[in-house]
Structure 1
Amino acid sequence: MVTTATPPPPVGAGALLRSWREKRRLSQLELSTRVQVSTRHLSYVENGRSRPSPEMIMRLAEQLELPLRERNEVLLAGGYAPAYAQQRLDAPALALVADALRMVLDRHLPYPAVVLNRWWEMVDANAAVDALLDGVAAHLLEPPVNVLRLTLHPDGLAPRIVNLGQWRAHLLAQLRRRVELTDDAQLRALHAELSSYPGGADDPTPSPHQVVLPMVLRVGEHTLSMFTIAAALGTPADVTVDELVVESFYPADDATLRLLRAEQPPPPT
């Protein structure tokens, strides 16, 4: 006789909100004060005795700093339609955003820059990135390319990163913070995978003379020292747009500045 497992009951909006409040280490009193409702009402919402309105869910989600994807999930759990669309970046509605991102990448030449999604998968990149990937194993370059895996994998950039322990610690700390923000199972699995890679002692402390922590990478006969600036769209109203980040690399010393300017073509006009 074949038996099938009974699926778990759906999680309601109140239980999700309680879970997120606990993840954010807020008491019911702290959250209710921020949202300007009574602690009793918040308690009723969390235990399912009171059904929250879409407006109440959005107010609570705002104070809990939920990303747009997670706000939609709470709305769906409450029986409401998602508030935020989720479209492919090549959808007509996102054409101007895609064009702006492409402009940022192109204008950043001769320095490398990439567009990443929520899971650090490469959405787009400028031509300067190609020079950094020489010698990377082909399986790490199969789409979707995960730049954290590509960087820390023994078949990726890791053997050429001079300060691997420092850079590894920096990347794992970023990933851990995003896991805490999103509670995303895919990101949690990625953190476990990357943490298992060899990489020396994880020490994110920069040297006393440094003002930023660079990634120091051997490329052919040269060594490049680069720091990064991450930028996100300021007013996203779409899940895809909310999760995009532009990671731009800049020279951290004069030698890298000269090398990058000499080896790359000027940006398009």
Structure 2
Amino acid sequence: METVGGLLREWRHSRRLSQLDLALAAGISPRYVSLVETGRSRPSAEIVLRLAVQLEVPLRHRNRLLVAAGFAPQYRERPLDEPDMSAVRDAVARVLHAHEPYPALVVDRRWNILMVNAPVDRFLADVDPDLLVAPVNMVRLGLDPRGLASRIVNLAEVRSLFRARLSRQVAKTGDPMVGALFDEFLAEYEPDGSVPQLESEVATPMIFRLPEGELRLFSTITTFGTPQDITLEEISIESYYPADPESAAILRSIARPAETGTNPGV
């Protein structure tokens, strides 16, 4: 049976903080942190959350800490397609639509694609239908030879980017399903360990080979600020931009009007 003290200790170790570091940041005594971690003191819900904030514990796991301490979960989780999430969904749809004619999509914490804008359809045109069965996973879609991999010119660099992001996400969230995706990535998409390490991830382009020409894109990631809902904390908007005028011209030439929506490719 997991305890709040044991969970807090795990998060503290993963953040490479001493008990003194955590105590100073949270404004409590190091002795009290020690008492909580060893189970000799039961913290209040306020203290649990104060420590969780300093440890940058994701909201999903803050609920887990609260339950382990004997309190009710505080943060809700609602699917993006639920009626009471309509305002958020509409706001995200406007962001995606405003980004056209450049591609953009929304992914959850497990890299499943939730929403796309119209330009994304052009990239999915020749993808194996099996990869477009919901939930469509961005990692598998991008690195599987039946997906986009066969059209990515600098595939080794793109693989390195995916690997680095997955590794950081596993360390930050402790999500076992992201860890499983990382293990799958290592086993299936870099079986010989030959993926090079990038010196820098700053604006490394993804280079696609399309019938219209070679397309060079770089991406940005947008997340919600100070979310109090698990779903909002765990989704991100991936927006792609042309890296040169030729790529911008190609994207404008293949643009077509369509409605932004969910369930890409189905």
| Aligned ranges 1:15-30 → 2 under 5 Å | 15-30=6-21
> Does residue 1:202 correspond to 2:166, yes or no?
no
Shift of 1:245: 0.2
1:253 counterpart (230, 244, 248): 244
How far apart in 1 are the matches of 2:117 and 2:133?
A: 17
Shift of 1:265: 3.1
> Does residue 1:164 correspond to 2:158, yes or no?
no
- Alignment RMSD: 1.7
**1:117-156 CA distance string (max 9 Å, x none):** 0011001001110111222222111110110111011221
How far apart in 2 are the matches of 1:54 and 1:97?
A: 29
> Does residue 1:153 correspond to 2:144, yes or no?
yes
Query: How many percent of aligned residue pairs carry the same amino acid?
Result: 44
How far apart in 1 are the matches of 2:143 and 2:18?
A: 38
- In the other structure, the counterpart of 2:177 is 186
Write the letter of the residue equivalent to 2:68: A
Q: Is 1:68–1:242's contact at 8 Å kept on the other side of the alignment?
A: yes
How far apart in 2 are the matches of 1:176 and 1:108?
A: 28
How far apart in 2 are the matches of 1:267 and 1:106?
A: 9
Q: Is 1:115–1:245's contact at 8 Å kept on the other side of the alignment?
A: yes
* Cα distance change on mapping 1:72 and 1:101 into 2, 3 Å: same
User: Relative contact order (C-alpha < 8 Å, sep 6+): which is higher?
Assistant: 2
- 3-state DSSP of counterpart to 2:237: strand
Q: Is 1:89–1:98's contact at 8 Å kept on the other side of the alignment?
A: yes
- In the other structure, the counterpart of 2:75 is 84
**1:45-92 CA distance string (max 9 Å, x none):** 001110111000100000000111111111111111111111111223
- 3-state DSSP of counterpart to 2:119: helix
Aligned length, in residue pairs: 256
2:164 counterpart (158, 173, 179): 173
1:34 counterpart (25, 35, 45): 25
Shift of 1:235: 2.5
TM-score, normalized by length of structure 2?
Answer: 0.92
> Structure 1: 5+ residue runs without aligned partners?
1-9
Shift of 1:267: 8.3
